[in-house]
Chains A and B, each alone.
Chain A
Amino acid sequence: MNQAPARVVLISSFSGRYTGGVKEFEVEANTLYDVIKALDQRYPGLGEHLEEETSVAIDGELYEVGYAQAVRPGCEIFFIPKIEGG
């Protein structure tokens, strides 16, 4: 598997609650599943929180969290509060 490192960033409220304040990570991944799995291994339980509570911005493009979402080489991934509207 030819995995590429991605820069993963959590907002402060997530990092404060789940990672002891660590906000940025480098993760080798081809899909969002790889990213979530890697973060969950470092912080058990974090993956479920990310799946349920966040939307994700990959190089600025906004997505609902989905395992199959492709992760481009060297991309920037922000987990942000899930988006809802009126």
Chain B
Amino acid sequence: MSSNTMARDEQTLKVVGTRPVRPDGVPKVTGLARYGADFSLPGMLWGSILRSPHAHARIRAIDTSKACALPGVKAVITSADFPEQKYEFVGPERVAVNFWHMTRNIMAREKVLYEGHAVAAVAAINRSVADAALRLIEVEYEPLPHVIDVDAAMRPDAPLLFEDMITRGVEPAPKQPSNVSKRIEFNLGDLDAGFAAADEIVEMNFNTAPVHQGYIEPHACLARYDSDGQLEIWAASQGHFVVRAFTARLLDMNIGDVLVHPAEIGGGFGGKTVIYVEPLAAALSRKTGHPVKIMMSREDVFKATGPTSGSSMTVKIGVKKDGRIVAADGLFKFQAGAFPGSPVMNATMCGFAPYNIPNVRSVGYDVVCNRPKSAAYRAPGSPISAFAVESTLDAVAARIGMDPLQFRLLNAAKAGTPTAWGPKHAHEGYSATLQALLAHPAYRAPLGKNQGRGVASGFWFNNGGESSATVHVNEDGSVVVATGSMDIGGSRASMAMMAAETLGIAYDTVRSTVADTGSIGYTHVTGGSRVTFATGIAVVEACRKVIVELCARAAMIWGVDRDAVVWRDGCARPADANQGKLEPLSLKAIAAKRAVTGGPIGAEASVNAGGFAPGFASELCDVEVDPETGSVKVLRFIVAQDVGRAIHPSYVEGQLHGGVVQGIGWALNEEYIYDAAGRLMNAGFLDYRIPVASDLPMIEAILVEVPNPNHPFGAKGAGEVNIVPAMAAVANAINHAIGRRLTELPMSPPKVLAAIDSGPQR
């Protein structure tokens, strides 16, 4: 892996932009880091979960008496142990939560809706007893017809998961129920006029497979419900405040009675922004009076936790002969899994967002089917629609004989370009990523036999929102920064660096931690590429408050007015020569006088950070296709991403590498394989094949830095958009290599071979 950085501005920074040793490195490589499964308490019980063998069945009865009678079993719970929830969608439309659905997902009630759906749970003195008890639970099922595929689920005669579900977003409302939870549509301009003005029109259909986030650490937690009604949870998640809120709601508890400790996290990629085992462990603890630990197996993770959606899509694009895109139409049908809530709205908003297109229609459908409920995955929805849009764009560029990067550059969105979803773009950045690839020697490097080159681009919003941070000066002048953001991509380092830069002190004098839900203010999830931006703003604001206090303490020491002191280069200094000859006071010197000047020095800042800027990425991929086997070897991958400013470039490059690796897996290998009964056949990493190091090429990360003026150091967010173009880049490279366009993911060897054997394209 390698990287280079482009276009740093002239701002003088001493810490931001450097590459100090990562603070989480030693604990992780020595095994000292404590993940969700590493916590234990005296008297702890083990929890195990009984899961459905059926893809779709009505639960007639559950008899737990034999399990309860097994020696060593302390409690058995079913859905009857959880309060019913009101049926309503609450919160933002794009990610609305319906607790009626959520409580049924963590424990089935009337029906099981996918193989692996939790039906009951046991707490016992050890895991073997708990597992033995599961085999004694008698569940009477009435198997029902099931549906896996999204197009099949939308047919009028499809088996219904919810017999009363009426599609939202359709006027007038349909009279018949269906598996379509929601329809959404965005429009810009006059679509018919746009296509009428086009010289060339390309329309293509696509399918993508659901893929799992593939985090290495399975879900695990420890819960202790005390006799005073207080609940403590130790769990790895992308947001311990969300774990607190959801668990409290599902157990009908006050949020203030739940304390969640953030464990180290072994990957999440969006999949740990929701809960599965926490309310079950808490309910078992409440019932037994003992702490309860639950650990998922890898099979559990595949069968019962959220992948991202599979899809069926149609994209139609019209262009003028000079390369200007004049119209674009997209139809995006997404599998939500067993409960509504796919990322299809993101897909409809992001697909055409990189481009200046005057006439656009983007339609999406959220469709339930008998597989685990989808969960967020790295720029949720955007990679899926980008696969369709960027593949079609490649075909359009070829149709008019235009270089695919120049074609994108001609149509690239700029500040002021309208989007299909309403507002105009406010930030630049996309064109710079295209120019980075155009200027790269690899774009003109010769290719060998059976080799091809593809390019693609992508858009992601990034995010801001609510974050909290505290900054405290220790007795020796060192500093502790605490935030509510779970560290999943290096935020402890970046927060320490931004604090050190603001305070004017060395990075290694700042210790950065993640505080539990009782020790800091509400902080939203580590997701949406929001932490460096939003939590970073909170840290800088807290540091600025500390600086004001440090100057006040210095003024007291010197016996001058507060206004006569400034903070520069890590020291309090007299504002001008009129104050007399005063030696600068370091943070250490002021900390030594903290008691006599008023006590400990520290500050907290909580923000709802706005002004976040989107991320754009453009990627280049070289492949070689084996015409005998259909196997695709990725030879080279270059990702150019506008990151605003890289606070710690090594971590940012890691984000770019990671997004590309996941995109390559999504493109070439990863899929869920179901048998005729709707049972998952490849619920393990041997058969569900994520890329390993030997599958991967040289990945070059180009950090394009177009700073966001709304962040103290220009950060935009870096974690997600890198995955968005990857599948299309690989598909376009394969098309270049074999002259056949693959429109269905994964592009596994049998499909590639079939494409080669299918004869000339078009």
Contacts and interface: CB of A to CB of B under 8 A. Distances in A.
Interface residues of A, number: 27
Interface in A3-48: 9, 11-13, 16
Contacts of A85: 270, 376, 379-380, 460-463, 527-530, 720
A81 B185 contact: no
Contact of A62 (B171, B377, B610): B610
B670 to A, nearest CB: 16
Nearest to A12: B185
A82 B94 contact: yes
Given A60-B423, A62-B461, A64-B464, A81 B269 contact: no
B270 A86 contact: yes
Contacts of B696: none
Contacts of A57: 422-423, 426
Interface string B73-90: 000000000000000001
A60 B613 CA distance: 10
Interface string A59-74: 1111110100100000
A53 B273 CA distance: 18
A35 to B, nearest CB: 14
Contacts of B609: 64
B93 A83 contact: no
A81 B345 contact: yes
A64 B186 contact: no
A4 B216 CA distance: 54
B558 interface: no
A84 B95 contact: yes
A6 to B, nearest CB: 13
A63 B610 contact: yes
Interface string B524-540: 00011110000000000
Q: Interface centre among A13, A16, A52, A62, by most B CB within 10 Å?
A: A62
A60 B424 contact: yes
B610 A64 contact: yes
B92 A84 contact: yes
Contacts of B185: 12
B425 interface: yes
B608 A84 contact: no
A52 B91 contact: yes
B92 A59 contact: no
B426 A60 contact: yes
B276 interface: no
B421 interface: yes
B710 interface: yes
Contacts of A12: 185-187
A86 B721 CA distance: 11
Given A86-B270, A86-B273, A59 B95 contact: no
A45 B477 CA distance: 51
A27 to B, nearest CB: 16
Interface string B401-432: 00000000000000110000111111100000
Nearest to B530: A85
B666 interface: no
B463 A86 contact: no
Contacts of B612: 62-63
Nearest to B612: A62
Contacts of A62: 423, 426, 461, 464, 610-614
Nearest to A86: B270
Given A82-B92, A84-B527, A85-B720, A59 B424 contact: yes
B310 to A, nearest CB: 16
B380 A86 contact: yes
A66 B608 contact: yes
B684 interface: no
Contact of B93 (A9, A53, A86): A53
Contacts of A52: 90-92
Contact of B425 (A13, A54, A60, A83): A60
Nearest to B270: A86
A57 B353 CA distance: 15
B20 interface: no
Q: Interface centre among A61, A62, A86, by most B CB within 10 Å?
A: A86
B378 A60 contact: no
Given A11-B421, A53-B93, A61 B186 contact: no
A84 B380 CA distance: 9
B465 interface: yes
Given A13-B169, A60-B425, A86 B610 contact: no
B610 A80 contact: no
Nearest to B272: A86
A56 to B, nearest CB: 8
A81 B381 CA distance: 14
A54 B92 contact: yes
B109 to A, nearest CB: 27
Interface string B151-191: 00000000000000000010100000000000011110000
Contacts of A11: 186, 421-422
Contacts of A64: 464-466, 608-610
Interface string B42-84: 0000000000000000000000000000000000000000000
Contacts of B423: 57, 59-60, 62, 76, 78, 80
A83 B269 contact: no
Nearest to A54: B92
Interface string B374-403: 001111100000000000000000000000
A64 B377 CA distance: 22
Interface string B620-650: 0000000000000000000000000000000
A12 B90 CA distance: 19
Contacts of A84: 92, 94-95, 376, 380, 463, 527-528
Interface in B250-269: 269
B513 to A, nearest CB: 24
Interface string B199-231: 000000000000001000000000000000000
A32 to B, nearest CB: 10
Nearest to A82: B92
Interface string B345-388: 10001000000000000000000000000001111100000000
B716 to A, nearest CB: 11
A10 to B, nearest CB: 9
Contacts of B425: 60
Given A16-B171, A81-B94, A86 B720 contact: yes
A57 B424 CA distance: 9
A61 B94 contact: no
B611 A82 contact: no
Interface in B696-750: 710, 720
A16 B460 CA distance: 27
A22 to B, nearest CB: 15
Contacts of B378: 86
B64 to A, nearest CB: 37
Give the 5 A-B residue pairs with the shortest CB-CB distance, closest first: A86-B270, A85-B528, A63-B610, A82-B92, A60-B426
16 contacts: A16-B171, A52-B91, A59-B426, A60-B415, A60-B423, A60-B427, A61-B710, A63-B611, A64-B466, A64-B609, A64-B610, A81-B93, A81-B94, A85-B460, A85-B527, A85-B529
Interface of B: 90-96, 169, 171, 184-187, 213, 269-271, 273, 345, 349, 376-380, 415-416, 421-427, 460-466, 527-530, 608-614, 710, 720
